[in-house]
Structure 1
Amino acid sequence: MIHSIAGSMALFFYKKDLIKEDEIEVYEYGAELLCSTLLNVLGIAVLMCVLGTYFETLLYFAAFSPVRVTAGGYHAKTHLRCFLMSAGVYLLSMLLLNIPLPLPVPAAAGAAMTAAVIIFAPAEHRNRALTGDERAAFRRRAVVFAAAAAVLSCAAYIFSARAAACLFWGLVSAVLSMLAGVIENAVT
């Protein structure tokens, strides 16, 4: 469904003389990514509204997004699987907020997550190989973001254990995605 919508969008741009014929495939791919991303954001927004976890979701994605973008991670084979995995991980993380974590847990796990990023980041996608310089730059950024999320999670604990847990589960989700991507790349 997303693929056909993206194809229609690219064809529309072509028929309106906004793009050239040899650009249709590139625009189709971009439109497919845009539609998929919008579907994921909409799904998370619906879950956020149903759960009433507005502030928690912002904190979760404040930790998750920078680490996931720079460290890389697992890529589902279809848009539906991507949506279901993203929604499932988010939902599980929001449910885990109800389990109290004593400060040593996020501190130790945050250090372990940062160490995993130092060792394994970035998880490259097989369709987008990185140069040595790109790999080093992504790793540096991922380490900074992971360490910042870990430190902020511990610091937030002083004010709110729930806020700390939001940051913690965002970091954990991003790093586990990265590790799944590393494993997927090693297997294929």
Structure 2
Amino acid sequence: MIEAISEKITGFLVDSNEISEDINEFRCYKYGIEIALSSILNIVLILSIGAVTGRFIESVIFLAVFIPIRQFSGGYHADTYFRCNLFFCISFVMVLLLFEILKVYNSVYLLLAIDLFSLSIIAFFSPIENRNKPIPAEKRMGLKLKAILISALISLVSLIMHCYWVVYGSLLSCTLLMISVLIISGKIKERRKRNYES
């Protein structure tokens, strides 16, 4: 569906003489529109799940943490837009479930352990490359540093918030943990692909 809509929008841009009929330019615009539509759909789905479950604020916090880190760290990428949307929704639901469990324990040490684990994974493995968007070697270190810095800042905020708003401190840590799980999953998928191709 996303691909079909992107094809029509890109075709409209060609017909309106906004872009040329060059096939490479067409593909480039089409892919960009696909990514934009998929991202918008992901955000709408997460906010909808948050609204339906009475966790709208949690959905906003999840997106505010997940999107910037993931932009620099990369991680698991599904092979279709449907799977991407599905996995993103499942990730959010899993964060909410873990968040409910952590609220029971209310331990700053547990949050610290989760944050340190997540930071270690992000620092060691990121950025994970997407096959459709290869990362030039000279940009890898910059992306890694940005992912580490944002994650470290969120970890610090998580621990501070634990003292005042336990609920949201736990949510930040759960989201970081989910990002690190997706990074590990992305690394495993990347390794399997390499083994399959060799």
TM-score (norm 2): 0.89
Q: Tell me the amino acid that sits aligned with residue 127 of structure 2.
A: P
Runs of 5+ consecutive residues of structure 1 not aligned to the other structure: none
Q: CA deviation at 1:95?
A: 2.7
Q: Which residue of 1 aligns with 2:123?
A: 118
1:11-90 alignment to 2 at 5 Å? 11-22=11-22, 23-90=25-92
Q: CA deviation at 1:38?
A: 1.7
Q: Tell me the amino acid that sits aligned with residue 152 of structure 1.
A: V
Residues 68 and 178, structure 1, Cα contact 8 Å, conserved in 2: no
Say yes or no: does 1:96 pair with 2:88: no
Q: Which residue of 1 aligns with 2:4?
A: 4
Residues 7 and 30, structure 2, Cα contact 8 Å, conserved in 1: yes
Q: Which residue of 1 aligns with 2:145?
A: 140
Q: Which residue of 1 aligns with 2:177?
A: 172
- 3-state DSSP class of the match of 2:174? helix
Residues 43 and 63, structure 2, Cα contact 8 Å, conserved in 1: no
Cα deviation 1:65-121 (Å, max 9, x = unaligned): 222111111110111101110001101212332222411111011111111112111
Residues 50 and 57, structure 2, Cα contact 8 Å, conserved in 1: no
The alignment's C-alpha RMSD in Å is: 1.4
**Larger displacement relative to structure 2 (54-63 or 102-111):** 54-63
Q: CA deviation at 1:62?
A: 2.7
Question: Which aligned segments of 4 or more residues in structure 1 are displaced greater than 3 angstroms?
Answer: none
Q: Which residue of 2 aligns with 1:157?
A: 162
Q: CA deviation at 1:125?
A: 1.7
Residues 62 and 170, structure 1, Cα contact 8 Å, conserved in 2: no
Residues 121 and 139, structure 1, Cα contact 8 Å, conserved in 2: yes
Q: Tell me the amino acid that sits aligned with residue 121 of structure 1.
A: S
Cα deviation 1:146-171 (Å, max 9, x = unaligned): 11121211111001211111111111
Aligned-partner Cα distance in 1 for 2:120–2:94 = 24
TM-score (norm 1): 0.94
Q: CA deviation at 1:130?
A: 2.2
Q: CA deviation at 1:135?
A: 0.5
Residues 73 and 123, structure 1, Cα contact 8 Å, conserved in 2: yes
